[in-house]
Amino acid sequence: MLRPRITPCLLIHNGGLVKTRKFSDPKYVGDPINAVKIFNEKEVDELIVLDIDASTLGQEPNYALIRSLANECRMPLCYGGGVKNIEQLERIIQLGVEKVAISSAAIVDPDFIAQAAKRLGSQSVVVVLDIKKTGLLRRYEVFIQNGSASSGLSPIDFVEKMESLGAGEIVVNSIDRDGLMQGYDLSLIEAIRNRTSLPITALGGAGSLADIQGLIEKFGIIGAAAGSLFVFKGKYRAVLINYPSRGDKDALVRAGMGRS
């Protein structure tokens, strides 16, 4: 049976674990391998790891780090950052990663998603849409290169194309809410949910378990991803890797069961 998923999202910058606000000012918060070890103990549903340098700097994926992460992870792992061709995708999967996240490359060459789905299967292809409101009318647009450049595309329209090309999952990542811990952009998520049947994971804005509960209660079977919520604790944002207890997680998941 499909269930809501509660997923930590780790950002990698200069080889370390960082947290950003609105995709800016990365703050070092620790070693990614140590974070994975803690999340193993806490029995997280799955883990997303995104290298925020690779695409912007034109770098290859960090295969040594990916290998270390995959070897350590006892949960499904989704890795993204710098992926531009099929050979990179296949190498990442061979290292033990279950899903590969594709962002800028999906915008620059949408057919790359079709090629990836054909070679790896849709279940391994995740499209991450980094989304920000722009202009006087505050329209949603998809951004690329770690949020540094607008594609001019509407995410609500683009998601249909991604589904038709074989993507297996969509991550809706709000740049405007990244790191602010003020709640998910439910309007954005609903607009995209209404245009696709693909599994959706929401990212950007979660500041409490109540935010996750509200997301699951509204949308049912959905992925609730968060960064700051699972690496900071308290109003002073002390660094502390954390995750809901089994009882709290089960209560959150039950809130979404029975919804489609």
Q: Give yes or no for a contact between 182 and 204, defined as CB atoms under 8 angstroms apart.
A: no
Could you list the active site residues?
130
Q: What is the DSSP track for 196-258?
A: --S-EEEES---SHHHHHHHHHHHSS-EEEESHHHHEETTTTEE------HHHHHHHHHHHTT
DSSP state of 60: P
**pLDDT higher than 80, residue 258:** no
In the prediction, which pLDDT does 69 show?
97
pTM of the model: 0.96
- Provide the domain count of the chain: 1
The two three-digit tokens of residue 152, written as one number:
């001019």
**pLDDT higher than 80, residue 257:** no
**pLDDT higher than 70, residue 132:** yes
Predicted confidence (pLDDT) per residue in 5-52, tens digit: 999 999 999 999 999 999 999 999 999 999 999 999 999 999 999 999
In the prediction, which pLDDT does 28 show?
96
43-72: average pLDDT: 95
172-189: average pLDDT: 98
Q: How many angstroms separate the Cα of 56 from the Cα of each of 70, 156, 180, 238?
A: 24, 24, 23, 29
Q: Which structural domain, as residue segments, surrounds residue 19?
A: 5-256
**pLDDT higher than 60, residue 260:** no
How far apart (Å, rounded) are the C-alpha atoms in residues 221 and 1?
10
219-240: average pLDDT: 94
What CATH number does the domain containing 97 carry? Answer: 3.20.20.70
In the prediction, which pLDDT does 136 show?
85
